[in-house]
Amino acid sequence: MEVRTNTSIDRSCSRPQLNVSGAAIQGNFEDRDPSIVLPNQSDDISHLALDIGGSLIKLVYFSRHEDRSVNDKRKKPLKEKIGTSSFNRRSYTTTGGKLHFVNFETRKINECLDFISSKQLHLGALSLSLSLSLSLSLSLSLPAMLIPYEQATGGGAFKFVDLFKEKLGVTIDKEDEMDSLVAGANFLLKAIFHEAFTHVGGQKEFVQIDHNDMFPYLLVNIGSGVSIIKVDGDGKFQRVSGTNVGGGTYWGLGRLLTKCQSFDELLELSQRGDIKAIDMFVGDIYGGTDYSKIGLSATNIASSFGKAISENKELEDYRAEDISLSLLRMITYNIGQISYLNALRFGIKRMIFGGFFIRGHAYTMDTISNAVHFWSKGEAQAMFLRHEGFLGALGAFLSYEKHGLDDLMTHQLVERFPMGAPYVGGRIHGQPLGNLNDKITWMEKFVQKGTEIFAPVPMVPKGTMGPEGLERSSSKGDYLLSGDATLNVGVLHLIPTLEVFPLLADPKTYEPNTIDLSDQNELEYWFTILSEHLPDLVDKAVASEGGTDVARRKGDSFAHAFSAHLARLMEEPAAYGKLGLANLLELREDCLREFQFVDAYRTIKQRENEASLAVLPDLLMELDSMSEENRLYSVIEGVLAANIFDWGSRACVDLYHNGSIIEIYRMSRNKMQRPWQASKKIFHMMRTCDNVDDFDIFKERMLGSACKKPQPHRRALLFVDNSGADIVLGMLPLARELLRRGTERNHPPCQVVNKGRIDFVVRMVLGDNGGFRFRVLMGELVMEEEEEDQSQPSDLKL
């Protein structure tokens, strides 16, 4: 049975808009939870969950894009539009969505309420309550029935019930805090790639935990207080211990002792502190010597704040920096130690630390790691989470069962910086984004603010001794993002249900990044390249949107946004997870999309498509007239030649500035009898141009799209010779084997050129039997595989 309402709520001036016109109840009145179909709903629907803690409110919300073509009522008969009785939100086709993370100070709860209200997140939750409310009574007018509710956990879910009701008209649906913490942690470990990491001596290293071997682990949530939870499975856990000496203690006591106004200020102070000023060391007691008999060295701290006993000093005589550091060390070390003792109690080796106290702060994580390492004698290791502070909020969020977010569990989520939100670190800047102009204006503000936000606060000078005698590393991880950048996280993007590379032997271990940007030199090199390419890309993007003033503004905003990302990543390369070149290129695409550039290469593609279509009949006739073998050969050549233009390199761009691809293609076919002469020309230009990186962009693209079963260390094999140039892809092991055999046959020793960015030069020729034969050229080395090739080796010198 269907009951229809004609009521619609007009919120046309803001997002998200909920269009309930034509809303229909599906099924029978007797059904407990009949589904509501909103056939005309076209905007994102957001879902919201909160974790209201003693110090901070953490907010997680999700917005998704439904596949409108599936629900497009113009294309489908009514019955299909609203589906069958099994229709529910789960039957929507996912095209992706975003999970956003924001935090506010609990004492400033009104800011949080304003934020929710400005983004109308509480109305998004309404899509859930519809089904509940309507099943209760159908005689009420629709707006009156809408009693949205929000999922909330933490103590505040109890404390602020009335405030939420009064200000937002929402009812809080309380979730158990520990349940939420565990659900959030399990979710992060399962669904997010590069979520967990170790942090030792300033070095962050991502750990991929096997989903089938995740439990048990000890979850230590360091909030205001500390909860220690033994997790044995999904929903299977026990809070085995806790301590009231936690983040609240550091912030509370620190504020009293230093008169700091904010947590960040206190944390920043600690970075300039000297641990030796107040803490008493073993050496202070043992006349500068170790107490090795019990495993203590002179540089171990014997007593936190111990020096203050004997020195005849008042509080004012100590530097706030030193107090902050000693306090931070005392509390973090103590938490690490208590946690380890609990791990020992239950024989658990894996310890995962969360909670907002950690703040991605290098010193905090290093100290916890030290404590665990020291007391376990290296047997146990501390791990941290990138979304450390949002476990509870995420868990509460996941407890929404009805909105079909199962996708979140089964798909990978990747992190991007929150470009689309009108706030920075919880502070609202102006109205919610309504249209592109708002976004651009906000972006201008964001960029100004961004410089402030991402300015790193330097650590103590290199060489200063930290606790436990460890020299503080000067790694990037030692920077604290200052000011509002309380979020070490931004927006998680849900990748749509498209399977990537379905033929990969083992998708889990497949690493599409052939260039590892953890190497600082590589990182700088690529950042320079991408920055230098930016003006050219902006020009193309602007042209692709008609070259109007608006397009130019959009282009400038895109450039600002992308540059801001690059600046942030330069300071903290792992800010969005492990970073490879492919991620950077993807990030650039993301930014373009953010500013509604559908396709920066659109005009070029249009031009090429038109030219191609004009000559297609001729080309097909030509191909048809060939012998079978030649035809196949020509088609392969043509495909490879065309592919070369898909890499966006400067040399290539220069080339097609002077003519269309098809012209080059035709010219090469006619004049040189080799369709790939065009590519030869490109390679020549690439090899002679300064930007050897073009090879890498090319390789990245080709390897990312063309290989069916690539190996982790595979490289592009480039073929270059006198008579033409082409490219084949191959596996490094294969190439090595070929080279080995070549060397055994007394060919001159081969040289693997990494710096020149060409590893191998291989020529691949289609054999009579339809297979390929290889001719490997590496510098002076020439060798044959399978069949002898008569052509002369190239005079190529790498």
Which residues of this protein are in contact with ligand ATP, per CB under 6 A?
53-56, 105, 154-155, 223-225, 247-248, 250-251, 263-264, 355-357, 359, 389, 486
**Contact with ligand PAU (CB under 6 A) among 96, 242, 420, 456:** 242
Residue 242 binding target from ligand PAU, ligand ATP, none, CB below 5 to 8 Å by type: ligand PAU
Nearest approach, Cβ of residue 103 and ligand PAU (Å): 15
SS3 of residue 641 by DSSP = helix
Nearest approach, Cβ of residue 180 and ligand PAU (Å): 11
Residue 247 binding target from ligand PAU, ligand ATP, none, CB below 5 to 8 Å by type: ligand ATP
Residue 250 binding target from ligand ATP, ligand PAU, none, CB below 5 to 8 Å by type: ligand ATP
Of 60-68, 242-250, 258-266, 470-478: span binding ligand PAU (CB under 6 A) = 242-250
Nearer to ligand PAU, 53 or 450 (CB): 53
Nearer to ligand ATP, 275 or 358 (CB): 358
For tokens 């033409």, name the residue: 724
Nearer to ligand ATP, 158 or 193 (CB): 158
How many helices (H) and strands (E) are present in the chain, helices listed first?
28, 28
Residue 243 binding target from ligand ATP, ligand PAU, none, CB below 5 to 8 Å by type: ligand PAU
For 461-566, strand residue ranges (E) read: 480-481, 491-494
Nearer to ligand PAU, 46 or 55 (CB): 55
d(CA 639, CA 24): 51
Nearest approach, Cβ of residue 101 and ligand PAU (Å): 19
Nearest approach, Cβ of residue 487 and ligand PAU (Å): 20
d(CA 33, CA 235): 25
Residues 379-408 within binding reach of ligand PAU (CB under 6 A): none
d(CA 299, CA 640): 63
Nearest approach, Cβ of residue 353 and ligand PAU (Å): 14
Q: Are 57 and 156 in contact (CB under 8 A)?
A: yes
For tokens 């233009």, name the residue: 645
Interaction between residue 226 and ligand PAU (CB under 6 A): yes
Q: For ligand PAU, what does the binding mask look like between residues 39 and 68, x meaning CB under 6 A? A: --------------xx--------------
Nearer to ligand PAU, 224 or 513 (CB): 224
Nearest approach, Cβ of residue 57 and ligand PAU (Å): 13
Nearer to ligand ATP, 175 or 696 (CB): 175
Nearest approach, Cβ of residue 339 and ligand PAU (Å): 13
Q: Which residue is nearest to ligand ATP (CB)?
A: 53
**Contact with ligand PAU (CB under 6 A) among 224, 249, 258, 376:** 224
For tokens 């035709």, name the residue: 666
d(CA 718, CA 683): 10
Nearest approach, Cβ of residue 50 and ligand ATP (Å): 11
CA-based nearest residue to 512, from 640, 692, 699:
699
User: For residue 325, how far is the Cα from the chain centroid?
Assistant: 31
Interaction between residue 225 and ligand PAU (CB under 6 A): yes
- Please report, for residues 53, 109, 142, 341, the alpha-carbon distance to residue 156 in angstroms, rounded to integers and kept in the order given: 6, 10, 30, 30
Nearer to ligand PAU, 25 or 157 (CB): 157
Nearer to ligand PAU, 29 or 158 (CB): 158
**Contact with ligand PAU (CB under 6 A) among 27, 83, 96, 155:** 155
Nearer to ligand PAU, 243 or 691 (CB): 243
**Contact with ligand PAU (CB under 6 A) among 227, 258, 367, 794:** 227
Residue 251 binding target from ligand ATP, ligand PAU, none, CB below 5 to 8 Å by type: ligand ATP
For tokens 């090899």, name the residue: 687
d(CA 572, CA 313): 40
d(CA 40, CA 576): 36
Residues 6+ apart with CB under 8 A from 622: none
User: For residue 753, how far is the Cα from the chain centroid?
Assistant: 32
SS3 of residue 796 by DSSP = coil
Residue 355 binding target from ligand PAU, ligand ATP, none, CB below 5 to 8 Å by type: ligand ATP
Interaction between residue 240 and ligand PAU (CB under 6 A): no
Nearest approach, Cβ of residue 187 and ligand ATP (Å): 16
Q: What is the DSSP string of 421-478?
A: -SEETTEE-SSPP-SHHHHHHHHHHHHHHHHHHHPEEP-SPTT-B-GGGPBPP-SGGG
User: Which long-range CB contacts under 8 A does 299-306 form with residues at least 24 apart?
Assistant: 299/465, 299/468, 299/469, 300/468, 300/469, 301/275, 301/329, 301/333, 301/467, 301/468, 303/279, 304/278, 304/279, 304/280, 304/329, 304/330, 304/333, 305/278, 305/279, 305/280, 305/330, 306/278, 306/279, 306/280
Helical residues (DSSP H) of 709-750, grouped into ranges: 732-744
Q: Are 514 and 700 in contact (CB under 8 A)?
A: yes
d(CA 204, CA 209): 15
CA atoms within 13 A on the CB side of 690: 3
Q: Are 478 and 459 in contact (CB under 8 A)?
A: yes
CA-based nearest residue to 73, from 48, 107, 37:
37
Of 4-12, 39-47, 225-233, 590-598: span binding ligand PAU (CB under 6 A) = 225-233
Q: For ligand PAU, what does the binding mask look like between residues 167 and 186, x meaning CB under 6 A? A: ----------x---------
Interface with ligand PAU: number of residues (CB under 6 A): 12
Q: Are 204 and 252 in contact (CB under 8 A)?
A: no
Nearer to ligand ATP, 264 or 785 (CB): 264
Nearest approach, Cβ of residue 251 and ligand ATP (Å): 4
Residue 370 binding target from ligand ATP, ligand PAU, none, CB below 5 to 8 Å by type: none
Residues 6+ apart with CB under 8 A from 360: 384, 386, 388, 481, 488
d(CA 108, CA 401): 30
Nearest approach, Cβ of residue 221 and ligand PAU (Å): 7
Residues 615-644 within binding reach of ligand PAU (CB under 6 A): none
Rounded to the nearest 10°, the torsion over CA 570, 573, 579, 585 is -20
Residue 244 binding target from ligand ATP, ligand PAU, none, CB below 5 to 8 Å by type: ligand PAU
Interaction between residue 243 and ligand PAU (CB under 6 A): yes
Q: Are 727 and 760 in contact (CB under 8 A)?
A: no
Nearest approach, Cβ of residue 237 and ligand PAU (Å): 14
Nearer to ligand ATP, 251 or 665 (CB): 251
For tokens 């190996």, name the residue: 711
Q: For ligand PAU, what does the binding mask look like between residues 183 and 222, x meaning CB under 6 A? A: ----------------------------------------
Interaction between residue 156 and ligand PAU (CB under 6 A): no
Of 238-246, 280-288, 338-346, 624-632: span binding ligand PAU (CB under 6 A) = 238-246
Nearer to ligand ATP, 282 or 330 (CB): 330
Nearest approach, Cβ of residue 386 and ligand PAU (Å): 21
Token pair recorded at residue 178: 């520990």
Nearest approach, Cβ of residue 360 and ligand ATP (Å): 10
Number of Cβ atoms within 10 Å of the Cβ of 232: 16
For tokens 């997140």, name the residue: 121
**Contact with ligand PAU (CB under 6 A) among 16, 34, 148, 223:** 223
Binding site for ligand PAU (CB under 6 A): 53-54, 155, 177, 223-227, 242-244
